[in-house]
Structure 1
Amino acid sequence: MNRGLTKCVVSYSCGKDSVLALYRAVKSGLIPISLITTYNIDDNRSWFHGVPEPLLLQIGKSLEIDVTLIRTRGEDYSDNFEVELSRLKQQGAQVCVFGDIDIKEHLKWCSDRCKQVGIEPFFPLLREPRLSLVYKFIDKGFKTHITTIDTIRMDGKLLGKQLTREVVEELTAHGVDASGENGEYHTFTSDGPLFKKPIIYHFGNMQYNGKYVTLPLEC
């Protein structure tokens, strides 16, 4: 990354990798002017991690960073991402931070969106060992819980559990990718470094969608 660049936006899902990417971006000297979160206008929750708008706004207040919701359906997802990224560039953003690690298709999608807008992508977790990243996240003191599980790939009993070293060891013992990078599970991070106060939330009733089981996040 060009060290002359200072202002950034952060692609923020509320999951552990996006949070660690934000943390590292700040520690590297970047100044976040907005968290950007894609928001499913049909489900009225964020894409993939299912976070409702009031919780996203609560996170922004705790982190003291503005939140930009990219309200979109699936067919317009990439185009709407670029529209908002372009608008934020006009407000001074020079870099977009992503929490992707090593899946080529994901890295390319992020880079392509930035290229279309003329902004630099930055991947603070790029190609680091996945297991090491999970341990580093936990050891920094972040608090995150497992909110969605692929029941074919891992044991549903871990749903709702805080991600700890012990849970990670259980995952790896059963042959599960500890980072969940392939969609084995999703997380919601509610506290840790950068947070001025913990995020207040609770779980709703368990929901099933094919092979996935989710504990919906509620205020």
Structure 2
Amino acid sequence: MKFVMSYSCGKDSTLALHKLIKGGHEPVGLLVMVNQDMDRSWFHGADYELLDKFSDALEIPLILCPSSGEAYHLEFEKGLKRAIELGAEMAGFGDIDIENNRRWSEDRCHAAGIRAEFPLWQQGREKIVQEILSKDYCCIIKSINNRLLPKEILGKPLDAKIAERMASSGIDLCGENGEYHTIAVDGPIFKHKLDIQTGEVLDFGDRSVIAIR
């Protein structure tokens, strides 16, 4: 079945994409929501140049949806409809276990007229991280909550040692509460590793972000 992936560039949506592809489904596009005021993807902050690198490395076209916060849901639905025009019968999501998030995604799909699929649903947060590591995905830590994690891990790949450190600190290992965000730059479904460079660390008080391009 052809599908479109709601893609954040992070570890969870990448693993969900992996599962759908390995399940025999064919991706027609990566639906990426873009903050039109910042020209970067919502939540993970990938700029257009970095998004192009993802499309090239995965060999999947982008379906970019610039929006304001108020029109986010409407632009998402428009993106789904564009995917349907490309042949998509299903939309994939990386949601894990938060009911409100799943319901939002299902509502958008219902409005657009496409089936919603959640490959990671109720798989267990720790299990998901362990699966990402076991499949040798390289996921760079892009942002952290300064109150919960040290800045020294910014720009480093999520590995077993860092995951153990996170677990011992008592945070959610998947970062579902915003403890940290990653971008996936290599792994089994990538045709080649993204050519990226890390830059300065930007401190926003309770959150720090490393520039990646």
TM more than 0.5: yes
In structure 2, distance between residues paired with 1:208 and 1:95 = 39
Q: Would you say 1:191 and 2:186 are equivalent positions? A: yes
User: Secondary structure in 1 aligned to 2:60?
Assistant: coil
Within the candidate set 185, 189, 196, 1:201 is matched to 196
Aligned: 1:147 with 2:142 = yes
Contact 1:50 1:217 in 2 (8 A): no
Q: Could you tell me which of 88, 101, 107 is aligned with 1:106? A: 101
Deviation (angstroms), 1:59: 1.2
Q: Does 1:40 align with 2:42?
A: no
CA contact (8 A) 1:37 1:69 kept: yes
Per-residue displacement from partner, 1:27-65 (whole Å, max 9, x unpaired)? Answer: 111100001111111111111101111111111111111
Equivalents in 2 of 1:154, 1:58: separation in Å? 28
Secondary structure of the corresponding residue to residue 146 of structure 1: strand
Counterpart in the other structure of 1:97: 92
Number of the residue aligned with 1:77: 72
Count of paired positions: 213
Q: After superposition, where does 1:1-219 map in structure 2 within 5 Å?
A: 6-218=1-213
Contact 1:63 1:195 survives alignment (8 Å): yes
Secondary structure of 1:14's partner?
Answer: coil
Aligned alpha-carbon RMSD (Å): 1.0
The gaps in structure 1 that reach 5 residues or longer are 1-5
Q: Secondary structure at the match of 1:215?
A: strand
- What is the SS of the residue equivalent to 2:83? helix
Counterpart residue identity of residue 138, structure 2: K
In structure 1, C-alpha distance between the alignment counterparts of 2:163 and 2:193, rounded to whole Å: 23
CA contact (8 A) 1:144 1:189 kept: yes
Structure 1 Cα separation of the partners of residues 190 and 63 of structure 2: 18
Q: Distance in 2 between matches of 1:161 and 1:62?
A: 20
> Is the partner of 2:173 in helix, strand or coil?
coil
> For residue 21 of structure 2, what is the amino acid of its counterpart?
V
Q: Normalising to structure 1: TM-score of the pair?
A: 0.94
What SS class does the counterpart of residue 74 from structure 1 fall into?
Answer: coil
Q: Which amino acid aligns with 1:130?
A: R
| Helix, strand or coil at the partner of 1:114 | helix
Q: CA deviation at 1:156?
A: 2.8
SS at match of 1:125: coil
Q: Which amino acid aligns with 2:19?
A: R
Deviation at 1:196, TM superposition (A): 1.1
* TM-score using structure 2 length: 0.97
Q: Percent identity?
A: 38
